[in-house]
A and B are shown apart, each in its own frame.
Chain A
Amino acid sequence: MDAVGLGYLAAGIGAALTIIGAGHGIGKLAAAAMEASGRQPEVAGPVRTSMLIAAALIEGVTFFSLAICIILATK
């Protein structure tokens, strides 16, 4: 396998690993937020807001990694 092929392989594996991590992180976050608002429905609003902020932060890091994968795949 030549270097270009390895680059494509790295981009694919990198994207997959990124999504595994991000999915796990956001999944745990959402589960905790659901539990919290299920236990105390009166704080569901603030919990949802802080969940969105945390999810956006996780997503931001994910996109860094995905951008690297896309650069790897298109170069």
Chain B
Amino acid sequence: MNTAVDSLSQQSHLDTLGGQGVAGGAHGGENLFAELLRHLEDSHELETPFGHVHLPEFPPVDVFGLTVDLSITKHVLFVWIAAVLLCVVAISVARKYTRTEVPKGFTNFFEAMVVFVRDEVAVYNMGPRGIRYTPYLLTTFFFILLMNLLGLVPYGATATANVSVTAGLALIAFLMINGASMRAQGVGHWLAHLTGGVHWALWPIIVPIEIIGLFTKPFALCIRLFANMNGGHLVIVSLIGLIFLFQSYIIAIAPAGFVVGILFLELFVAVLQAYIFTMLTATFMGLGMQESGHGAEEAHS
């Protein structure tokens, strides 16, 4: 959560901005709010305790007629940090785990979470066949969890509050959901499933609906994670905006208290959303893997 700490650290700067706004007319609050909101967005600047660091920018590249900007932005950097951190932690824990008989300390904590994802998410939704997909679910869970938690660290940025990051995660989930379904039922059954098991005269209606249904599941996953991670941040920005709106130190006490409360809520949401993303992916995979998956019992998000 960079907004809380950073906007407070830049208080003097914002104060002058707000002062100008009040002197200049009714647009002061709007400018200030836009200034605060900038902290939520992706940028080419990394904020550190020692000042702003400008991240490398590359000229846009043309890929199949699309202009793609491959610059390393703040969110890209935090995705990488999360990936490297996850690799280091997971490999060291795995090494320690195979060396000792009885795990203790951090290894024990990690084991509890791994067993939870295996038993309560993978096997619960997919049966014994789900163990094959546990590595994917574990990676998703810990990767999203780390990205969410890095957003709550001072000077950090929430990479999952960027819709492109969650779209990438949802694309992988889409491939896994349909891949698992094809593997369990065969491609023929998977295609037959698209007809919904109804009379052929209804196929022109059912087939498009089923095809849309394939895409709504990962799309909902993408939007849910993105909106949840942004929601808490927006509330914090609004609360901090109140301080500058009232221009008073006394009024600052109440929003500061609320912000602390919201930060604890965000901590809970960070864990919950990582769990929900993993759980829903596993549920959708499990639904696609059922033997007689033609029924109306299938859930559509």
Q: Is the CB of B280 within 8 A of A56?
A: yes
Q: For B120, what are the chain A residues with a Cβ–Cβ distance below 8 Å?
A: 49
Interface residues in chain B, defined as those with a beta carbon under 8 Å from any beta carbon in chain A: 120, 124, 220-221, 223-224, 227-228, 275-276, 279-280, 283, 299, 301
B224/A60 in contact, CB under 8 A: yes
Contact B223 A67 (CB under 8 A): yes
Q: Can you spell out 27 A-B residue pairs with CB atoms less than 8 angstroms apart?
A: A49-B120, A49-B279, A52-B275, A52-B276, A52-B279, A53-B276, A53-B279, A53-B283, A56-B224, A56-B276, A56-B279, A56-B280, A59-B224, A59-B228, A60-B220, A60-B224, A60-B301, A61-B220, A61-B301, A63-B223, A63-B224, A63-B227, A63-B228, A64-B223, A66-B227, A67-B223, A67-B227
Residue A57 at the B interface, CB < 8 A? yes
Main secondary structure of the interface of B (DSSP, over half): helix
B120 nearest CB neighbor, chain A only = A49
Residues of A within 8 A of B (CB): 49, 52-53, 56-57, 59-61, 63-64, 66-67
- Find chain A residues with CB under 8 A from B275 CB: 52
| Known interface pairs A49-B279, A64-B223; A57-B124 also in contact (CB < 8 Å) | no
Nearest CB in chain A: distance from B35 CB, A: 16
* Bound CA–CA A59/B231 (angstroms): 12
The 6 closest A-B pairs by CB, nearest first: A60-B220, A63-B227, A60-B224, A56-B276, A63-B223, A57-B301
